[in-house]
Structure 1
Amino acid sequence: MTSTTGEALNLEKVIPNAEDFLPLNGTDYVELYVGNAKQAAHYYKTAFGFQSVAFSGLETGNKDQVSYVLQQDKIRLVLTSPLTPDSPINEHIVKHGDGVKVVALWVDDATKSWEETTKRGAKSYMKPQRMEDDHGHIIRSGIHTYGETVHIFIERKNYDGPFMPGFRKWESDYNPAPTGLRYVDHMVGNVGWGEMNKWVEFYARVMGFAQLMSFDDKDISTEYTALMSKVMSNGNGRIKFPINEPAEGKKKSQIEEYIDFYHDSGVQHIAVATNNIIETVIDLRNRGVEFLRVPDIYYDTVLDRVGEIDEELEPLKELGILIDRDDEGYLLQIFTKPVVDRPTMFFEIIQRKGAKSFGKGNFKALFEAIEREQESRGTL
């Protein structure tokens, strides 16, 4: 099997406990419902280095909504806005603000994916449907997951167009250089009080995922706030979904703040991988992307905790990049401030040097940085 970029895919099972009755090749796209798709597309091109791919709107015969498709390496974003006041997309934006509606998964058989998940209890969002144009056809289907988030299964082996039927190639004169972002490493969902295990069980039962690791309020807590998290993965490890819920603390946690402003469960952040986090973060910062910062004192002892690394410490300190190690290696990570008006969705930039984990050793420093932001917003 080959990827959408033509390279050979290794879909070997690496998570032994995953049932894996639902083969997933990777993340096909992430669709955000936004108030102004044209301006959002400009932002993701300018700030993050995404490239123009495809467009759907009035000019393509779509009278209800407009969508811009952007791509950087294997990361594909779809930015969608309504064209009518009575659109359900409008209702979504009024309630949640800009945010992720669809996490689309690339599969070989979208019909079988829908059948396997719905017979195991998933609520259908879209029955299998065939869409075709001069470039061939795709089949897509979908199920509901936490909040108003949905998974759409995309089967595109018989299609060679720019994105999917209903879209045309989008060529633009303004094409900023990419920033080194490569693929979606994981996507984190925030759910309400006591709901984490419900959705962990959903991904295990409905999609055949296995739990990679879990963190409780002893792992993820500060003097003021806490949360709990469990990480679910499919068999080949290409799709990883940490699920967070709040835990009791003296003050309001970032998960509670998210749910208060998003008014539901939803996608908290998209973690995207790079091969050179220092170059990528310098580029992103120069383009105006703002990042959370931990106190400089973090770097006084970090190497005592994580041991020897390939990188010089000073550039990491100057940029605010965090370091953590597990039994497999180490990782470098940094988190943007929210990229939307409400304190909800943000991005993580991650470079893995063998590590399979998610930065447990950084949680306390990171959460204290988030609490400083919450305090400035008056929501701690």
Structure 2
Amino acid sequence: MFESPQTPSRFDELTLNHVELYVTDLATARTAFADQYGGHHLADHESADGAHRSTALGIGRTVLVLTQGLSADHPASLFVRARGDGVADLALRTDRVREAHASALAHGARDRGAPVEENGAIRATIQVFGDVRHTFVTPPPGTEGHWVPGFGSLPSSPGSTTGLTGADHFAVCLDAGSLDEVVRFYRTALGFERTFSERIVVGSQAMDSHVVQNTARDVTLTLLEPDITAAPGQIDRFLKDNDGSGIQHVAFATEDIVRATAVLRERGVEFLSTPGAYYDRLTERITLERHGLAELRAAHVLADEDHGGQLFQIFTRSTHPHNTLFYEVVERCGATTFGSGNIKALYEAVETGQSADRPR
């Protein structure tokens, strides 16, 4: 499926500016992303009122901002008390902040910050699902490279030491009954395109999925909704443990997933394991081109293909206290969407990992 925006896109220039996570302890989170995922320290910032402090890290082309609330009523403090550490803001860069903000509100988004101009920069914030926000950002005129509110211009991040090249997509778990509404919002308010749809049935469980992307293809949201008429599964558990909709995982891209996973394991990242039977059947449905069966089996990497080519992916074991947020590593070899085999494999892999983690 490929569906263009329901109205002509007025925001073709809209791109990912940065990803912000609210964290309980900034030093701990910064060390984890730096030591395990190879995040390169770019800058630090503390608000003038002492309400929060943040660190900006570079993972490939993506700027990751980690923020700890220092006052009880700061949004970061409220977020982590309710949900623990998590993705709180997918900030979007656009030359037309005011127009984007107005369009979002007109199509049902909640206002979390009217447009503000300061030193030539403009920002505004909305909320679409759960406690996750989009901050629209226009940097000061003449700004080149990364610019983040509070930090200003950031230095370029050097080459990755782990092989991660930046964010590939964000998986969003939505409350039952809200999927169509959220898809409609991104298409009509921000001009995203729906590029894939899928219904996944795994045993007695089921969920529906739509993928929406911006024109630049650097913001990809995999939107997931549980089927409440089926048995509860991982999406239902996330919604319960997260107290509602939110970002379940962030996928990082790599150009060599076998090498990247080996480096990440050496740095202490734990991945979900895949049953051997998966690899016994793999070559019956795919003629592997980039990686051999033996190295995929040894690395526990999943493989699938679509009309454009093949993709390989693996999921980390969640270290979150609520067993919610986790990460993915994905290598695309021509594949541009999410084949049904891999979406089902994602669901089954997470089911296997979370079942093993639950007390017996």
Instruction: Decide: shared fold, TM above 0.5.
Output: yes
1:332 pairs with 285, 289, 312, which one? Answer: 312
Cα gap change, 1:111 to 1:363, in 2 (>3 Å): closer
1:199 pairs with 179, 182, 196, which one? Answer: 182
For 1:100 and 1:168, the matched residues in 2 are separated by: 21
For 2:94 and 2:242, the matched residues in 1 are separated by: 30
Asked whether 1:166 is paired with 2:144, we answer no
Asked whether 1:265 is paired with 2:245, we answer yes
Cα deviation for residue 251 of structure 1 reads 4.0
Cα gap change, 1:164 to 1:354, in 2 (>3 Å): closer
Cα gap change, 1:352 to 1:161, in 2 (>3 Å): closer
| Equivalent pair of 1:257/1:343 in contact (CA under 8 Å) | no
Deviates more, 1:104-113 or 1:188-197: 104-113
Asked whether 1:54 is paired with 2:35, we answer no
2:74 pairs with 72, 87, 96, which one? Answer: 87
Asked whether 1:129 is paired with 2:116, we answer yes
Cα deviation for residue 343 of structure 1 reads 1.4
Cα gap change, 1:168 to 1:232, in 2 (>3 Å): closer
2:9 pairs with 7, 20, 28, which one? Answer: 20
For 2:55 and 2:33, the matched residues in 1 are separated by: 11
State the partner residue of 1:313.
293
Cα deviation for residue 77 of structure 1 reads 0.8
Asked whether 1:116 is paired with 2:103, we answer yes
For 1:310 and 1:365, the matched residues in 2 are separated by: 19
Asked whether 1:41 is paired with 2:26, we answer no
Q: What is the TM-score normalised by the length of structure 2?
A: 0.90
Cα gap change, 1:170 to 1:346, in 2 (>3 Å): same
* Secondary structure of residue in 1 paired with 2:56: strand
Cα gap change, 1:160 to 1:363, in 2 (>3 Å): closer
| Equivalent pair of 1:331/1:354 in contact (CA under 8 Å) | yes
Asked whether 1:212 is paired with 2:195, we answer yes
- The one-letter code sitting in structure 2 at the alignment partner of 1:119 is A
Cα gap change, 1:234 to 1:166, in 2 (>3 Å): closer
RMSD: 2.5
Cα gap change, 1:165 to 1:183, in 2 (>3 Å): closer
Asked whether 1:294 is paired with 2:281, we answer no
State the partner residue of 1:4.
none
Asked whether 1:280 is paired with 2:263, we answer no
For 2:54 and 2:62, the matched residues in 1 are separated by: 16
Cα gap change, 1:363 to 1:119, in 2 (>3 Å): closer
State the partner residue of 1:370.
350
CA offset digits 1:6-53 (Å, max 9, x no partner)? xxxxxxxxx771332122442111111110012101100000000001
For 1:238 and 1:89, the matched residues in 2 are separated by: 25
Cα gap change, 1:338 to 1:359, in 2 (>3 Å): farther
| Equivalent pair of 1:227/1:244 in contact (CA under 8 Å) | yes
Question: 1:221-232 maps to which residues of 2 (within 5 A)?
Answer: 221-232=201-212
Question: 1:240-255 maps to which residues of 2 (within 5 A)?
Answer: 240-248=220-228, 251-255=231-235
State the partner residue of 1:32.
21
| Equivalent pair of 1:52/1:70 in contact (CA under 8 Å) | yes
Cα gap change, 1:357 to 1:105, in 2 (>3 Å): same
CA offset digits 1:344-379 (Å, max 9, x no partner)? 111111111111122421334433332233323438
| Equivalent pair of 2:3/2:195 in contact (CA under 8 Å) | no
State the partner residue of 1:179.
162
Cα gap change, 1:169 to 1:357, in 2 (>3 Å): closer
State the partner residue of 1:10.
none
Identity score, percent? 30
For 2:218 and 2:256, the matched residues in 1 are separated by: 20
Q: Which runs of 5+ in 2 are unaligned?
A: none
Q: How many residues align?
A: 354
For 1:214 and 1:162, the matched residues in 2 are separated by: 33
CA offset digits 1:326-354 (Å, max 9, x no partner)? 11111111111124221111111111111
Q: Which runs of 5+ in 1 are unaligned?
A: 1-14
For 2:312 and 2:344, the matched residues in 1 are separated by: 16
